[in-house]
Structure 1
Amino acid sequence: MLADKYHMTKDQNRRFARSNLTKLVHTNARFEGVNTTMPQTQTIIDGLGVDGVSIDDINVIVQLKRGWQSVINADEPLTLDFAKKINGIVALHESLAPGELRTGNGYVNTNQGEFIPPEVDIDAENTYLKQLLNGSESTTEKALQLMYHLMRSQLFWDGNKRTAVLMASKLMIDHGAGLINVPLDRWGNPLDRWGKWNELIAEFYFSNNDQKIVKWTYQQAIQGVDFHPQRNLPHSKPRRR
């Protein structure tokens, strides 16, 4: 059992997500090969263009911003229909059919070769989601399992990783458990972190065993705020005099 690391109210978690919107978009855009800096990402989120950044990359960032805003503000339950809504936003400019479930064969290029995902079974996906949400695991563990299940299932024609992250984030926010966001700069060289994640996700795709990547993500990518139990304020360390 992977216990929840953070215990916020839904409103506190929403505010935490809003305050980190640029960081979240900046990280998620890496799934599409977007390599903007944090300041460039902020400029695009603010509605301005950036020299040297393609219109395709700008569109990815803008739609990710809108996707995050939808997740943060949404009061509707976590369902397959909600996943369609989010995919329709984040994959608007890349997908053959944004927001529509995949009806044909797909594939994913990994560092271990080409992975062919299973055919989409709507009934099976609805059953999986219902059983997951009713399970005894912590919110964080459920969110991590959901995120990687959706990445492997490739339910949509495009934008599956982005959709998966946002679906998992909604579950985290709804229960005040923080956010899932792989910090690319934790080990100094972002390529080292990204390479490790790509190694683990490829292994998971082919084995369908998520234990390693769930544990790794739990250790490295869960972010949140510890609040003072009485005053409802973030914990702070005493100043040295």
Structure 2
Amino acid sequence: MFSKVMRPADGAAWVTGASGGIGRALCLALAAEGWCVHATARSADRLEALAAEAEGPGEIRPLPGDVTDAAAMTRAVESIAAERPLALAVLNAGVYHPMRAQTFSAARARQTFDVNLAGVANGLEPLLAHMSARGTGHIALTASVAGYRGLPDAAAYSATKAGLIAMAEALAMDLVDLGVRISVINPGFVETEATSVNAFEMPMLMQPEAAATKIVAGLQRPGFEIRFPWQFAAMLRLIGLLPNRWYIWAVRKALGWEGVEVRGG
């Protein structure tokens, strides 16, 4: 059902959120595998620096753009497809604003929704049209294990990642008949600028390069979900089966949430 695996010979790759963290490391890893990677983020300077670091048989081509601009995402897909087919796309751009009940901000929640959900939808529309017309291609959405159930400090973030998981599942039901594969990437904690603001200890924290290696390996295997580290993901899946009251207690205890200082918004 989810068996389609794309190779560099099938066309180009596109990665959003490429200027830092997982996206940056993923561009370098894909280029090392031989992909021509079109890297999108708002910062043209950071993309140029990233392109200069590419090693291996592939390359990285800067493609600046803002995922919240739907027209820009359509132009990005059209510019790539004008040169060669788009075989692989990883819609990875995202933001994280820590948010507890005491510091809840509708404005920051809205920004999170705009980037993490609407930003993905902006890329999906032209991608689905391009790949469905060709009857081939692979789209991966970077969600998170935070989308399994709500996690502390992640009121808006967990909501968007749960939405991405559900979106990928719903689209898979159609795409299986159209020859297009869709995957969801669910990382645990990865050391990035975003997670550096967390006020609690992050279990099994990974480096972006290690996360990128896991993602590349997952993209090369049949399947729908790419999750890592598997121990942490399995633990969250298991405790996610608990009744709400027990789940909330277990997560607070596991992440050392009790007594953590509340940060201002």
TM-score by structure 1 length?
0.31
Greater relative CO, 1 or 2 (CA 8 Å, sep 6+)? 1
Higher strand residue share: 2
